[in-house]
Amino acid sequence: MKSAAGSSAALREEPDGRPLPPGWRSYTSPEGRRYYVNSCSKETTWRRPSSSAESPQRPLARQSSSPYVNGSHSSTKSCQPTEAADVALRKPSINKQPPGSVSPAKRQIKEVKETKITINCVTFPLPGEGPEQQLLKPNEWSYCDYFWTDKKDPQGTTSVAGFEVLLQKQLKGKQMQKEMSEFIHERIKIEEEYAKNLSKLSLSPLAAQEEGTLGEAWTQLKKSLHDEAEVHLKFSNKLHTEVEKPLLTFRGDNFKKDLKKYDHHIADLRKQLASRYASVEKARKALADRQKDLEVKTQQLEIKLSNKTEEDIKKARRKSTQAGDDLMRCVDLYNQTQCKWFEEMVTTSMELEKLEVERIEWIQQHLRQYTTLRHETDMFNQSTVEPVDQLLQNLDPAKDRELWVKENYTGEVRPVDMDI
Amino acid sequence: MKSAAGSSAALREEPDGRPLPPGWRSYTSPEGRRYYVNSCSKETTWRRPSSSAESPQRPLARQSSSPYVNGSHSSTKSCQPTEAADVALRKPSINKQPPGSVSPAKRQIKEVKETKITINCVTFPLPGEGPEQQLLKPNEWSYCDYFWTDKKDPQGTTSVAGFEVLLQKQLKGKQMQKEMSEFIHERIKIEEEYAKNLSKLSLSPLAAQEEGTLGEAWTQLKKSLHDEAEVHLKFSNKLHTEVEKPLLTFRGDNFKKDLKKYDHHIADLRKQLASRYASVEKARKALADRQKDLEVKTQQLEIKLSNKTEEDIKKARRKSTQAGDDLMRCVDLYNQTQCKWFEEMVTTSMELEKLEVERIEWIQQHLRQYTTLRHETDMFNQSTVEPVDQLLQNLDPAKDRELWVKENYTGEVRPVDMDI
């Protein structure tokens, strides 16, 4: 019973461009959230111990007379959740024993080669063991391919789930977006101040008495400052509505709530996985005890035959089989939960990935709007000077003299000599 | 003896584009000042009364036995400087007498038609009298053609010389030029403030943690603010050196000193004119007395003939002729001064006219520089956004995910089912 999570096939493309692995399908929940479901979560439901015990998909089960022995061996070596790392370190030393010096007892262990390791209650294939895993989305650097392991935090004390790293990225992105809108807000304030000063200066009475065509040009030059002010005011207004606001309001408070939901959902599955892993351990212990008891009783039978003992052995074997069935059920329940967690991880990380792409494209769109507005501003600004250029070109000192003389002349009759 | 000031011929063109009236020439003084000199100022020098008395240029002199009578008449009627206006008003009533009712005494007066009027010691032809005056510089509205009369100031109390009006225009022009440079200075301060704010914002740490290609674009966007700041700073610096300073320093304090010099020079000539006019009046009075004395003596002779009386008449006639000569000399001195004043008026007003043209062209040149700098600023400004546009175009969410995943991934080995 092998989960498709380990499948080596690349994901097939979905209508929305997302690939899926063979044996997977996606459905959208009533709340509109898309789920990626692995067929395993259906198959792994516990039915009949015997059938599942003899399943050809279990190579290890076929290597020994009693499936439980190997099962217990292979498990106990790699399943102390707390000291998982230690176990991983101890294993090599065991395997590195020179072939010659191997006792019959240990030989059995060696036959049962370690192929998997469970870390923080999650079970991984050991390096080089099991079928090769190909990425679910090769060449995409997809979130769903790179955050399966928990990582030790900088202090190395507690370990952080890979999913937490993804959530942190989202929160940081949200913060960046907020800071960008604050930056634009600062720019807006600068533009408003600049516009205010220009428009104030444009009303200054300086050189207002200049006359004629020069006076006109000068008046237009002052007016052009008012026009400039208007351009910068329009710029700041558009910055506010078309850049600052969209950046600020994109993904309101709901966003962080949603992230928390994802966080809790995944964390709950991890807790469930831990408790089910604990049950597995308990069942292994019980099975081991039962097997010991059966061995003892079998040795007693070899010494003196009696009906009483025959009965005891039958009883012990029944109890041992019962304990085996318990263990199998616990392992299946564990695998179901891990499978569910796996599905949620894929589903949610793909969603976070989509959110990040959207964020980047949203910001890109609005920063482009910013540069567009800047270009417009510079263009409109230029046009404010053109009427001044015009009037400066048509400026005419002779005309100005004529206008002024017409207004101020005192008399054009020239003096003549006095007669006697 | 007619001054070319009243010449009806338009001015001839000079090398420097200034026309001169016939009989005029210009020379440049050691201090480089150009003078316009009227031949009259040479011709009017007093030589021989008889010759000048019989000069054919004096139609009035030929209408009566004694030139002085008419001379005195024509003058006294129109030469009370203070009540010049009144005289001008009285004249018509005199001329409007019906021909029939004219006494022999008055006839003589009527024959001597008024042709000139002296106002504030300056002598003008009466409207419609004397040869028609054409403008010295027709169609040019030249200062030298329109400021010959003194004008009553707004309160109508004192009268202001036409030349003062020209000086006021110059002072106002200087003030306008100064205010324009102050205006530009204000603009410079606004640009500096704007640049300061932009450059400060460009250093803000906001969204500095943004990563990948988006991070690059954002960093460039912030940098572009620093570039913008540079553009506006360069603008303000060039405004200072290429517009504000030239407008401020054009024509230093010397300019106002020069205007004062012109002012005093012309005013002194007006004072001299006034004193020479007073001498003329005095001489007229003396001549009138002498003529009266001569008449009395002549009547005595008609009654009883005696050597004694013959002698007295000879003596009286000599004195009368002497008084006539005095008057002619005074009138000639007066005309010389008026001519000099006229020349100075033409010379200086043409100079002021030239100064005004220079001022307007200087301002035009530097306001054009202002608009050129504005255009440059807008152009450079646009270029500051282009690198941002580039990076926003190349922005790539997939690439950003790759970079981030490569740095932050926790593990790509996917979980597999646990075995029993």
pLDDT tens digits, one per residue of A383-408 = 999 999 999 999 999 999 999 999 99
Q: How far is B154 from chain A (nearest CA, A)?
A: 13
Is B118 in contact with A418 (Cβ distance < 8 A)? yes
The pLDDT value given to residue B114: 76
pLDDT, average across residues B389-396 = 96
Residue of chain A whose alpha carbon sits nearest to that of B137: A412
Q: pTM of the full predicted structure?
A: 0.75
Residues 6+ apart with CB under 8 A from B37: B24, B25, B26, B27, B343
Nearest to B412 among A60, A146, A186 (CB): A146
Residue of chain B whose alpha carbon sits nearest to that of A41: B417
Do the beta carbons of residue B420 and residue A123 sit within 8 Å? no
Whether B243 shows a pLDDT value over 90: the answer reads yes
Residues from chain B contacting residue A368 (CB–CB below 8 Å): 389, 392
Q: How far is B389 from chain A (nearest CA, A)?
A: 7
Instruction: Give the count of beta carbons closer than 10 Å to the beta carbon of residue A321.
Output: 18
Whether B83 shows a pLDDT value over 50: the answer reads no
* 3 state DSSP class of A223: helix
Q: Band of the pLDDT at B167, cuts 50, 70, 90?
A: very high
Q: Which amino acid is at A302?
A: E
Q: How far apart are CA A169 and CA B163, in angstroms?
A: 83
Instruction: Give the count of beta carbons closer than 10 Å to the beta carbon of residue B333.
Output: 19
pLDDT, average across residues A291-300 = 87
Residue B130, judged by CB atoms within 10 A of its CB (0-12, 13-18, 19+), counts as middle
Whether B84 shows a pLDDT value over 60: the answer reads no
Residue of chain A whose alpha carbon sits nearest to that of B327: A420
Do the beta carbons of residue B395 and residue A363 sit within 8 Å? no
* Tokens describing residue A108: 């059995």
Q: Band of the pLDDT at A91, cuts 50, 70, 90?
A: very low
The pLDDT value given to residue A307: 66
Residue A26: which H helix or E strand, with range? strand A24-28
Whether B211 shows a pLDDT value over 70: the answer reads yes
Whether B34 shows a pLDDT value over 60: the answer reads no
Q: How far apart are CA B116 and CA B103, in angstroms?
A: 24
Q: Band of the pLDDT at A29, cuts 50, 70, 90?
A: low
Residues 6+ apart with CB under 8 A from A126: A114, A115, A116, A117
Chain-centroid distance of CA A408 in Å reads 82
Bridge partners, residue A117, by sequence: A124
Nearest to B217 among A169, A176, A367 (CB): A367
Q: How far is A302 from chain B (nearest CA, A)?
A: 31
Residue with tokens 């690059």: B216
Of chain B, the percentage scoring pLDDT greater than 90 comes to 60
Closest CA relative to residue A257, chosen from A319, A336, A171: A171
Phi, psi (degrees; rounded to nearest 5) at B100: -55, -45
Q: How far is B306 from chain A (nearest CA, A)?
A: 35
Question: pLDDT tens across B332-348, in order?
Answer: 999 999 999 999 999 99
Average pLDDT, chain B: 79
Residues 6+ apart with CB under 8 A from A96: none
Residue of chain B whose alpha carbon sits nearest to that of A335: B417
pLDDT, average across residues B382-402 = 96
Chains A, B: CB contacts within 8 A come to: 349
